[in-house]
């Protein structure tokens, strides 16, 4: 393992930011312009700067990939920037197999969240197909695969059935003796199953209030009219209109919720008013420190470039 002048490490025992205890592995610290394991420029601007050992960071990233994490954030709870570990850093620290697994998982999730893309259902094809035309909530559309030239339904993934609904087509093909059918489509017209208005994923409601949050895209909406509630912190949507008094909570609980929300915003406002004079006084010191850090980083970059030129 080759360590460069920009990679800070010591061989002695020290506190690892991941384990929060003594760790004998050589610690690393992500810094702007760092070079690591033969990579000249790991990141031009680091999103996090927390000292952690190579082995601990590697184990952490491997665990997150095995758990199916989409974005792997800095593991240090005290990290000032709370950055996301880049794909380049992941490629450096873990095996090629795990990198491919992580990339495939990211692609699967991106396709699942994109209403304009879907996977070809034919075995072994593994092609991402474009869903043509305007997409409405869970309505079936004809999708053409450019690889295997098959046309299938965007909803039930069976061969395209013009003039038939997914349920009717499944029953018709079953009577004709077809055994290579996909699973029957979900009855989206049910009162208990609706599609997320943002990402189109089916959602089943068995109990609870009418304020729904999609587990996939985190979109908050009304179960009855599918209106967006992302910015409705006080739940005013249920005070009027067709969804009036349909939230599913008592009036007292709604008032208590609104009191808490207003109290939080008022507390932030008071804190800002109290802290603003202190921030104005501390601003020159912060700017000076930033300038010194930037100038020091520029000097180190120039020194590294001179060393590279002399070595070549």
The span from the CA of 36 to the CA of 71, in Å, is: 21
Residue labelled with tokens 């985190």 = 218
The SS3 of residue 195 is strand
- In DSSP terms, which residues pair with 21 in a beta bridge? 16
Coil, strand or helix at 225: coil
- Answer whether 82's CB lies under 8 Å from 50's CB: no
Any bridge partners for residue 165, and if so which?
A: none
Catalytic residue among 79, 199, 209, 243: 209
301: nearest Cα among 1, 3, 26, 31: 31
Query: Taking CA 107 as the corner, what is the angle to CA 101 and CA 109, rounded to the nearest 5 degrees?
Result: 105
Other CB atoms within 10 A of residue 80 CB: 10
> Is 196 assigned a catalytic role?
no
Taken in order 285, 289, 290, 295, the sign of the CA dihedral is positive
Q: Could you list the active site residues?
A: 209
């Amino acid at each position: 393992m080759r360590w460069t002048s920009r990679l800070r490490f010591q061989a002695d025992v020290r506190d690892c930011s991941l384990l929060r205890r003594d760790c004998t592995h050589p610690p690393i610290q992500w810094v702007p312009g760092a070079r690591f394991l033969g990579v000249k420029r790991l990141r031009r601007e680091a999103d996090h700067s927390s000292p952690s050992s190579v082995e601990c960071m590697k184990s952490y990233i491997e665990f997150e990939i095995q758990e199916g994490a989409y974005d792997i954030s800095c593991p240090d709870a005290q990290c000032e920037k709370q950055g996301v570990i880049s794909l380049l850093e992941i490629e450096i620290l873990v095996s090629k197999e795990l990198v491919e697994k992580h990339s495939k998982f990211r692609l699967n999730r991106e396709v699942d969240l994109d209403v304009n893309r879907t996977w070809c259902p034919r075995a072994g094809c593994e092609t991402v197909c474009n869903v043509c035309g305007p997409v409405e909530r869970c309505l079936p559309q004809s999708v053409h695969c450019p690889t295997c030239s098959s046309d299938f339904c965007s909803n039930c993934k069976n061969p395209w059935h013009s003039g038939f609904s997914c349920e009717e087509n499944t029953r018709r093909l079953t009577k004709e003796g077809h055994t290579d059918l996909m699973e029957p489509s979900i009855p989206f017209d049910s009162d208990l199953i609706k599609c997320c208005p943002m990402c189109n994923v089916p959602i089943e409601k068995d109990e609870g209030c009418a304020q729904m949050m999609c587990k996939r895209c985190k979109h908050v909406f009304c179960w009855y009219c599918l209106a967006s509630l992302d910015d409705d912190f006080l739940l005013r949507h249920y005070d009027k209109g067709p969804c009036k008094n349909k939230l599913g909570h008592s009036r007292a609980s709604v008032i208590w919720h609104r009191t808490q929300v207003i109290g939080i915003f008022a507390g932030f406002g008071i804190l800002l008013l109290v802290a603003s004079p202190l921030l104005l006084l501390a601003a020159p010191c912060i700017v000076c420190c930033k300038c010194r850090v930037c100038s020091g980083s520029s000097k180190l970059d120039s020194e590294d470039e001179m060393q590279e030129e002399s070595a070549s």
